[in-house]
């Protein structure tokens, strides 16, 4: 390993902070601060699971970053998956100024497509990088390194700082025969290793999986066999960004004379972008619009669809439920789920599979056939990678805690001293100074929940939603006269989701009496305070429902002043 050059005496330590992606699959975002200026690496979203009722997206909390908005210098994007670029419009909105955003050609194209839906944002300055490019954007000097992943045009970044070199891999695997002929550039990483990597931030998603990730081409072979043997309509569900997977589906379709039908908004958009930029090779004139499928024999078509994760309103879920406007699936049709099963989506995916099976479809997925390979380096791949790079310090990133722990074990196994392997969490910060890394104070961060036009509905609101969903809601209307200091009119109690409607009359009458007894016992001056009356109504109904049903419904008191 070559000796490291230090020019750090007049420079403060380099600070690296993590705002997302540690302990979860998604919300990937980190910052690197050099000489008071901040570069952001990836700005991703996390998709909600069943417990996030009504939530559309989950973002990193970059509130502390907004306090230093003028210090934010640029954004480096590793690739075009939404868990790395999906929060970009929200960041631009909150910073309320333009930024220089570095990324490869396809990554930038996907960002531009997202930003078309945000016309009022400050226009960012996109700067295209190619693998091998060295960019000097003072005070940042960084180099893009080619990596293979489940989307084309992925790169890692090597940042040369006054205190040493930092390498962020982004998402990667070691497929040496990728569809686009652009494998992870191990020779380039070896040169960086020879120069001396002081801190490695590396993808951990596959660290628990033994062995090596099979090449993407093996999936194409199995898909082609399935397509060749199929006799009815074929539906292939995949991530809309998985251009290589879809290229192999299209190759199989061409081989048997089938026409592709792209279904799902993101699928249609991404395939158009990929085809226009030359990342997808097929005759676009052979594509059939979904509105015209009735003009063709089902045996002539192959549907390429979104919905592989069982999303409720995705094209595949609508087909499985018989609710799609133009496409029907049934007896003799073949459905291939050519994607991974993201943790948390199991129930939704199995629901789609069961619904498709009820309609007579044959469903093939990764659990029964090799129709998917991971886009993330597994254990033996990571061992090789660490031996090539020989980093001085390692922080596993991108993964749940079990993945980070497994990756930390790999780093130690390959010679990194145990004290030099740091398992961090969202909010953690470290300092790189003269080639040494130490933990420093955290930055404040959490999850930001986006629900439609509502920004950050927050954990308290989610708790209320879960409570309503689990125990129901009880609404109580009470009218008081604050001047006369007494209750007037009848108490009205209603409920939803606590008891069956047909059984509700008697129990609601008992609930009403419980509230009236509580109010009858109040001192006259209490009726001058609406909030005090509300609290007593909630207490009386809380005791009543627990006693009568053992439930704790969400109680909404409405106290009005006559």
Q: pLDDT 10s digit of each residue in the chain, 562 long?
A: 443 444 556 899 999 999 999 999 889 999 999 999 999 999 999 876 655 545 668 899 999 999 999 999 999 999 999 999 999 999 999 999 999 999 999 999 999 999 998 989 999 999 999 999 999 999 999 999 999 999 999 999 999 999 999 999 999 999 999 999 999 999 999 999 999 999 999 999 999 999 999 999 999 999 999 999 999 999 999 998 999 999 999 999 999 999 999 998 899 999 999 999 999 998 989 999 999 999 999 999 999 998 888 777 788 988 998 889 899 999 999 999 998 877 667 788 888 899 999 999 999 998 889 999 999 999 999 999 999 999 999 999 999 999 999 999 999 999 999 899 999 999 999 999 999 999 999 999 888 877 655 565 556 666 777 777 778 899 999 999 888 888 888 999 998 888 887 778 888 999 999 999 999 989 988 898 888 899 999 999 999 998 988 888 888 899 888 7
Alpha-carbon separation of residue 400 from 21, 115, 231, 250, 512 (angstroms)? 8, 29, 41, 34, 49
Tokens matching residue 99: 């930024």
User: With contact defined as beta carbons under 8 Å apart, do 371 and 336 qualify?
Assistant: yes
105 secondary structure, DSSP code: H
What is the pLDDT at residue 467?
75
Cα–Cα distance measured from residue 112 to residue 118, given in angstroms and rounded to the nearest whole number:
10
Beta strands, E only, 105-153 = 125-128, 134-137, 140-147
206 secondary structure, DSSP code: B
Task: Tell me the whole-structure pTM to 2 decimals.
Answer: 0.82
Cα–Cα distance measured from residue 399 to residue 208, given in angstroms and rounded to the nearest whole number:
10
Instruction: Please give the CATH number for the structural domain made up of 14-211+374-450.
Output: 3.60.15.10
Spell out the domain ranges in the chain: 14-211+374-450, 217-364, 472-561
Tokens matching residue 116: 């078309």
- 327 contacts: CB under 8 Å, gap ≥ 6: 235, 261, 263, 290, 293, 303, 315, 319
> Measured between alpha carbons, how far apart are the two ends of the chain, in Å?
83
Question: Over pLDDT 90: what percentage of the chain?
Answer: 71
Give buried/exposed letters for 165-190 (b at 16+ CB in 10 A, else e): bbbbbbbbbbbeebbeeebbbbebbe
Cα dihedral angle (35, 37, 41, 42), rounded to 10 degrees?
170
What is the pLDDT at residue 9?
67
Helix, strand, or coil (residue 51): coil
What is the pLDDT at residue 4?
45
Q: Are strands 334-337 and 362-364 parallel, antiparallel or unpaired?
A: parallel
Give the strands of the sheet with 134-137, arranged side by side. Answer: 134-137, 140-147, 154-161, 164-168, 199-203, 393-397
User: With contact defined as beta carbons under 8 Å apart, do 235 and 317 qualify?
Assistant: no
What is the pLDDT at residue 531?
86
What is the pLDDT at residue 3?
39
What is the pLDDT at residue 459?
65
User: With contact defined as beta carbons under 8 Å apart, do 389 and 192 qualify?
Assistant: yes
Ramachandran angles phi, psi of 99, nearest 5°:
-140, 155
**Options 3.40.50.300, 3.40.50.10710, 3.40.190.10, 3.30.70.250; CATH of 217-364:** 3.40.50.10710
User: With contact defined as beta carbons under 8 Å apart, do 137 and 143 qualify?
Assistant: no
Where are the alpha helices (H) located in 120-277, listed in sequence order?
A: 186-195, 217-229, 243-256, 265-277
Cα–Cα distance measured from residue 170 to residue 200, given in angstroms and rounded to the nearest whole number:
11
Q: Which CATH class is domain 472-561?
A: alpha beta
Helix, strand, or coil (residue 279): coil
Cα–Cα distance measured from residue 483 to residue 212, given in angstroms and rounded to the nearest whole number:
78
49 secondary structure, DSSP code: -
Say what angle helices 504-520 and 530-549 make with each other, to 10 degrees. Answer: 140
User: With contact defined as beta carbons under 8 Å apart, do 32 and 38 qualify?
Assistant: yes
What is the pLDDT at residue 5?
45
- 110 contacts: CB under 8 Å, gap ≥ 6: 80, 85, 241, 270, 273
What is the pLDDT at residue 192?
98
Cα–Cα distance measured from residue 366 to residue 369, given in angstroms and rounded to the nearest whole number:
5
Question: What is the rounded radius of gyration, in angstroms, for the C-alpha atoms of the chain?
Answer: 28
What is the pLDDT at residue 8?
59
What is the pLDDT at residue 2?
41
């Amino acid at each position: 390993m070559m000796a490291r050059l230090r020019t750090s005496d007049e420079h403060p330590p380099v600070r690296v902070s993590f705002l997302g992606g540690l302990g979860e699959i998604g919300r990937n975002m980190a910052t690197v601060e050099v000489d008071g200026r901040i570069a952001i690496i990836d700005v991703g979203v996390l998709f909600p699971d069943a417990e996030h009722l009504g939530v559309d997206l989950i973002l990193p909390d970059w509130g502390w970053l907004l306090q230093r908005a003028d210090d934010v210098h640029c954004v480096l994007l590793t690739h075009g998956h939404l868990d790395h670029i999906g929060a970009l419009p929200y960041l631009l909105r909150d910073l309320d100024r333009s930024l220089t955003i570095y990324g490869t050609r396809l990554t930038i194209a996907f960002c531009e497509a997202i930003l078309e839906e945000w016309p009022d944002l400050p226009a960012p300055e996109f700067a295209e990088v190619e693998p091998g490019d060295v960019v000097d954007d003072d005070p940042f000097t960084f180099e893009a390194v080619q990596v293979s992943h489940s989307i084309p045009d992925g790169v890692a970044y090597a940042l040369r700082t006054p205190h040493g070199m930092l390498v962020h891999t982004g998402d990667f695997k070691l497929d040496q025969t990728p569809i686009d002929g652009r494998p992870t550039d191990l020779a380039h990483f070896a040169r960086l290793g020879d120069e001396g990597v002081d801190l490695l931030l590396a993808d951990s998603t596959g660290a628990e999986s033994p062995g090596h990730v099979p090449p993407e081409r093996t999936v194409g072979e199995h898909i082609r066999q399935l397509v060749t043997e199929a006799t009815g309509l074929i539906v292939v569900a995949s991530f809309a960004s998985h251009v290589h997977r879809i290229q192999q589906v299209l190759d199989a379709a061409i081989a048997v004379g089938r026409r592709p039908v792209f279904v799902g908004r993101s699928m249609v958009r991404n395939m158009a972008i990929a085809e226009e930029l030359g990342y997808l090779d097929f005759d676009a004139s052979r594509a059939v619009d979904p509105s015209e499928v009735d003009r063709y024999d089902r045996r002539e078509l192959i549907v390429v669809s979104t919905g592989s994760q069982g999303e409720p309103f995705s094209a595949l879920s609508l087909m499985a439920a018989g609710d799609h406007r133009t496409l029907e699936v049934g007896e003799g049709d073949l459905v291939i789920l050519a994607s991974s099963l993201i943790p948390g989506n199991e129930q939704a995916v199995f629901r789609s599979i069961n619904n498709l099976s009820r309609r007579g479809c044959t469903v093939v997925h990764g659990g029964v056939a090799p129709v998917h390979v991971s886009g993330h380096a597994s254990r033996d791949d990571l061992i090789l990678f660490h031996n090539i790079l020989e980093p001085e310090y390692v922080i596993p990133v991108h993964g749940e805690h079990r993945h980070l722990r497994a990756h930390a074990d790999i780093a130690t196994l390959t010679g990194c001293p145990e004290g030099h392997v740091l398992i961090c969490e969202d909010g953690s910060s470290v300092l790189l100074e003269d080639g040494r890394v130490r933990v420093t104070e955290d930055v404040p961060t959490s999850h930001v929940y986006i629900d439609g036009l509502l920004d950050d509905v927050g954990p308290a609101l989610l708790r209320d939603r879960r409570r309503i969903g689990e125990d129901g809601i009880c609404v109580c209307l009470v009218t008081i006269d604050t001047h006369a200091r007494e209750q007037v009119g009848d108490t009205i109690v209603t409920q939803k989701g606590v008891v069956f409607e047909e059984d509700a009359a008697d129990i609601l009458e008992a609930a009403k009496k419980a509230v009236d007894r509580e109010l009858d016992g109040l001192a006259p001056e209490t009726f001058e305070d609406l909030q005090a009356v509300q609290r007593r109504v909630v207490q009386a109904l809380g005791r009543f429902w627990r006693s009568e049903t053992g439930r704790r419904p969400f109680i909404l008191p409405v106290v009005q002043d006559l």
